[in-house]
Structure 1
Amino acid sequence: MGVCSNKSKKSMNQYEEQYIYLLDIQHPANVNHKYANHFTLIQNQYTGQGIRRTHQYTTILSRIEWENKQNEFWDSYKDSMHWSNIRKALSQDEESTSHLLDLESSLAILALCKLKMIRNTIQLLISEKQELFQVPVFIINEPISLNNQQLLLDFQTSQLKVRIRSSKLPQDFLINIENTSTVLELKFKILEASKEKTCRLYLNGKELIDQNYLGNYKITSGTIIQAFL
């Protein structure tokens, strides 16, 4: 029995070694490359403790946008039991005043659902069925800097009727708003009208930033804004 267990452990360790490259932030298969438009990882600089230790990173997003990006990530895996347990393991530090208790609780959760960390980091896990789970750094730790810059009111004030278009809606609809309103204010109006919970807005393929004014994007009445709900 012991021999079989050792063979199984050795086999698992060998399997893990095949995926060490996924922890290299320079490797194109590293999960963080998918989010390079929003986050920049810093080589040889780290943040977090224990299993939460990751590279430091900066972001072009505001805090609200960063939080929305986290919510979007978890929403995309809401039907996965493994991802639910990974999220629960990460949330332990919010429920405990002791880092040691936090670590023990997190490890217990991962062990219970038979998820094993590769190189003792929650960034990369492997299941009993040899499924891989990569956790991007923006899910694990906060950035060292956020975008707090707001563009200037360098345009003439006007009333707008913008056209909102989405594949989830049967037809376009108009929203009355001032060009001195922020993108975030427009989002609130869209969510209220569509009864959705989250949205991202694009104009000519460019994502609109929450804290910027509509006038900064030269939006006028009749402009079509694409909403991803």
Structure 2
Amino acid sequence: MGVCSNKSKYMNHQEEQYFHLLDIQHPDNVNRKYAIHFTLIQNKYTGQGIRCTNQYTTNISRIEWEKMQNEFWDSYKDSIHWSSIRKALSQDEESTSHLLDLESSLAILALCKLKMIRNTIQLLISDKLFQVPVFIINEPISWNNQLLLLDFQASSLKVRIRSSKLPRDFFIHTENTSTVLELKFKILEAAKEKTCRLYLNGRELIDQNYLGNYQITSGTIIQAFL
């Protein structure tokens, strides 16, 4: 009992020691190194479960953003802990069930003895502290204050919409040149709902972006939170 109690106090002390790094107003915030490119938004959030972070905007293009992601992972490619973190983050890209994704992600982190601070993958403790910047976890709500480019061939789509609030999936006919917001309007009309948020592989779709920017094709399953 005493050993467990001491261990619990130690872990609580660790959380208290580091949780200020999640405060976007704090100068030592987990994203401080990237402040020149990313602006976090107070009290606005995106992502589910352990991927929940503040929304943010960026002054770089999607191509530059993807390059930053690749460079980040390349710098840690020989680290077992970082490999586990990356694998945990990728779970939502392999399943349509958020609960299964969460269980898989937690199991991966546990195997490497990584403990999250405040139940977010932005901060983890093992033998040392691991800080995961927001651009590794979620996409920005805007790219360089502009719409994403129509850098794909236009085509018609028949996407499958899935929601826990509805008894069965339904299909929406649209175009890959339609924006996410335009798709939302069609879904709300079909489902007779007032609001919704859309997710693809666990990542929230941004209103002003085109469906083609997400490589959405006919048959793609989009999660709707109505």
TM-score bracket, normalised by the shorter chain, equals: 0.5 to 0.7
Matches within 5 A, 1:140-219: 140-147=137-144, 148=146
Residue 136 (1) aligns with residue 137 (2): no
Contact 2:30-2:122 within 8 A present in 1 as well: no
Name the SS of the counterpart of 1:102 in structure 2: helix
TM-score by length of 2: 0.63
Distance change (3 Å), C-alpha of 1:149 and 1:45: closer
Residues 15 and 96 (structure 1 numbering): CA distance in 2 closer, same or farther, change over 3 Å?
same
Question: Counterpart in 2 of 1:54?
Answer: 53
Cα offset, 1:12, TM superposition? 1.6
State yes or no: 1:38 paired with 2:37: yes
Percent identity between matched residues is 79
1:97: Cα distance to partner?
1.0
Residue 16 to residue 149, structure 1, CA distance change in 2 (3 Å): closer
* SS at structure 2 position matched to 1:143: coil
How many Å apart are 1:60 and its aligned residue?
1.1
Query: What is the deviation of 1:7?
Result: 1.3
Equivalents in 1 of 2:137, 2:70: separation in Å? 13
1:6 CA displacement: 2.1
Aligned to 1:92: 91
CA distance in 1, matches of 2:88, 2:106: 7
Distance 2:147 2:4 in 1: 56
Does 2:14 correspond to 1:15? yes
CA distance in 1: counterparts of 2:14 and 2:2, whole angstroms: 18
Match of 1:82 in 2: 81
Offset of residue 15 of structure 1: 2.0
> Runs in 1 of length 4+ with deviation above 3 angstroms?
none
Hey, what's the Cα distance between the residues in 2 that align with 1:38 and 1:109? 30
Aligned residue type for 1:59: T
Report the equivalent of 1:192: none
Deviation string 1:70-114 (CA, Å, 9 cap, x unpaired) is 001111111111111000000000011100100000000011100
Counterpart amino acid of residue 49 in structure 1: Q
Give the paired residue count.
147
Structure 1 Cα separation of the partners of residues 133 and 83 of structure 2 = 15
Q: Partners of 1:55 and 1:149 in 2: how far apart?
A: 20
Residue of structure 2 equivalent to 1:28: 27
Within 2, Cα distance between the matches of 1:119 and 1:31?
13
Cα deviation, 1:13-43, whole Å, max 9, x if unaligned, reads 1122111111111111112111111111111
**1:195-224 per-position Cα deviation (integer Å, ceiling 9, x unaligned):** xxxxxxxxxxxxxxxxxxxxxxxxxxxxxx
Structure 1: 5+ residue runs without aligned partners?
A: 151-229
Change (3 A) 1:18 1:145: same
Structure ID, larger Rg: 1
Normalised by the size of structure 1, how large is the TM-score? 0.62
* Distance (whole Å) between structure 1 residues aligned to residue 30 and residue 118 of structure 2: 16
